[in-house]
A and B are shown apart, each in its own frame.
Chain A
Amino acid sequence: MSNLNQKIKLDQEDSKKPLLIAALICATILFSVIYLKISMIDMMMGLPNFILFFFQNFFPPSLENVQQYIPAVLDTIGYAVIATFLSSILALILGILISENTNKFKSIRMICRALVSVMRNIPFVIWGALLVYIFGLGGIVGVLALIFVTIGFLGKSYAESIDEISGEKLEALRANGASYFQILLHGVLPQFVPSWINWTLFSFEINVRASVVLGLVGAGGIGVLIDTNINLFNYGEALGIIIVIVSIILLTEFVTNTLRKKLI
């Protein structure tokens, strides 16, 4: 009888857990707001204020000097291309050294994995800042910073893709009497090519974006022009450059997507 009055549960699981998570998130939000000393009003009005400012000051964009930016644009793309090429080769070697499929020495695997991890986990601009420290301002620093981070990203992704290649197939080549490098070239590489293309194109997109930012740490490219123009209150000019950047990045995405469809 009492069953009738009981509430029928819609979920089998303990309903306390989601509540707990929600409470935890709320508490963290509260903590963050207090810790950062952001006033709620600032936070809520921040976005509208910015948008208002944006349309009042940045608009209209000035595109008169676009031609002047062409060298910087080309530099930006050039950095990304060079970095992608070099890091895709270096990362392939690291990926092969990290994957259990292609390297049976555990100690070497661990060392390479740690190396790649460190490269990946230090944010890109910080690599840039550190390298400027050593090499001084200039394009080399930009390319190096891009290479470091891209190796970190690609090394891990490549290794995961190589891990996914079935060891059974490589076993067949071993049974054929093939040497280590033959197994690598005839067994691993052909199976790896689609992921290779995919990850590398993806890293190119990331590199173009990052290469734009490079200027901000003094490493060449178009980014520094934005900073300069904003500091001079040339907001329209800055927006013009940003529009150029947006076009480069959208174009890059279009190109990589087309290549992806064509090649895989």
Chain B
Amino acid sequence: MEPLLSIKDLVKVYGKSTRALNGISIDFYPGEFIVVIGPSGAGKSTFIRCINRLIDSTEGNLVFDGDNLEKASGSKLRKERSKIGMIFQHYNLIGRTNVIKNVLHGRLHDTPLYKSIFGFFKHEDKKEAVELLEKVGLKDQIYKRADELSGGQMQRVGICRALLQRPKLLLADEPIASLDPISANIVMEQLHNISKEKKLTCIVNLHQVDYAKKYASRIVGIKKGRVVFDGKPAELSDKIIRSIYEGKESQMTLQNDAAQTGISTGVKEGPALQLTGGQKA
């Protein structure tokens, strides 16, 4: 099968000497749900931002969907970016703008400026935005200002915004790191389900190994800017995990504990989970 995204010898140097990415070569195939794990400072965020060129890499090749990404600029770059959705740790919604407009930001790339100013989006775009919001259980909050929502709700709006781009690839940088365990479960669950349903390729940065094992179809371990593990969740042994987090074990155990309590509360709070699950149906 042709890879959807093919990365060769990706290097990113910040300033003079901070080598955040140290030569990464990897291929991603359509339909995969990839989780990238690694201690903080390993280069996960840098890696994911190099893919849609929010950060310009120092060296390396990026071929996405048959196009060379690293040379694109201006409107060509914007067009390529529009095919890649992104979800952020801090949601990054425009707080004083209402929910549906935030979701419609996903279509700015093919809406002319003068139309977007007055909110003249295409009917089908608006319809799809409402449907997406309905799917994540936010139908009643459409006209609320984004900063009036809870963290979990904001992240679900963030997912809708990325999905409205009708992307081929979805990037997520620590989508649940700022959420409480229950919201984190809901968000991961919805992200996973929707990408399954739409046969989307997902690359998700996480530092919780348990979540990675639960949802990923493929796990990539990054350490000091290098890929140190690439394989099926089942192949990720405790020994490998320990070597990925070597020198930062405290982080691993801490995060592991957090994830575990997260999941166990999630189970305990079964009814609550079901309730939101019901909403989205």
Contacts and interface: CB of A to CB of B under 8 A. Distances in A.
Q: Direct contact between A and B in the complex (CB less than 8 angstroms)?
A: yes
Interface of A: 166, 168-169, 171-179, 181-182, 185-187, 190-191, 193-194
Interface string B92-131: 1111110001000110110001001100000000000000
Contact of B108 (A168, A171, A176): A176
B84 A175 contact: yes
16 contacts: A166-B92, A168-B92, A169-B92, A169-B93, A169-B95, A171-B54, A172-B105, A173-B105, A175-B86, A176-B106, A177-B81, A178-B108, A181-B113, A182-B108, A185-B117, A190-B97
A226 B268 CA distance: 78
B113 A172 contact: no
Given A186-B94, A190-B97, A178 B105 contact: yes
Contacts of A172: 86, 88, 92-93, 105, 158, 161
Nearest to A172: B92
A178 B82 CA distance: 8
Nearest to A193: B96
B52 interface: yes
A181 B52 CA distance: 20
B208 interface: no
A240 to B, nearest CB: 46
B54 A178 contact: no
A171 B92 contact: yes
B165 interface: yes
B78 interface: yes
Contacts of A186: 94, 97, 101, 105, 108, 116
Interface string B11-54: 00000000000000000000000000000000000000000101
Contacts of B165: 176-177
B280 interface: no
A102 B62 CA distance: 28
Interface of B: 52, 54, 75, 78-82, 84-86, 88, 90, 92-97, 101, 105-106, 108-109, 113, 116-117, 158, 161, 165, 171
A214 B158 CA distance: 52
Nearest to B113: A181
A191 B105 contact: no
A190 B84 CA distance: 25
A168 B113 CA distance: 22
A185 B114 CA distance: 10
Contacts of A169: 92-95
A182 B161 contact: no
B166 to A, nearest CB: 11
A182 B82 contact: no
B52 A175 contact: yes
A59 to B, nearest CB: 52
A76 B245 CA distance: 69
A182 B112 CA distance: 9
Contacts of B108: 173, 176-179, 182, 186
Contacts of B85: 175
B170 to A, nearest CB: 11
A185 B108 CA distance: 11
A176 B93 contact: no
A177 B109 contact: yes
B146 to A, nearest CB: 10
Nearest to A175: B86
Contacts of A190: 94, 96-97
B189 to A, nearest CB: 22
A47 B66 CA distance: 83
Nearest to B111: A182
A118 to B, nearest CB: 33
A182 B116 contact: yes
B120 to A, nearest CB: 13
A196 to B, nearest CB: 12
B126 to A, nearest CB: 16
7 shortest interchain CB distances as A-B pairs: A177-B109, A177-B82, A172-B92, A175-B86, A178-B108, A177-B81, A177-B78
A191 to B, nearest CB: 6
A194 B147 CA distance: 14
Contacts of A191: 94-96
Contact of B109 (A168, A178, A187, A193): A178
Nearest to B92: A172
Contacts of B93: 169, 172
A182 B88 contact: no
A105 to B, nearest CB: 16
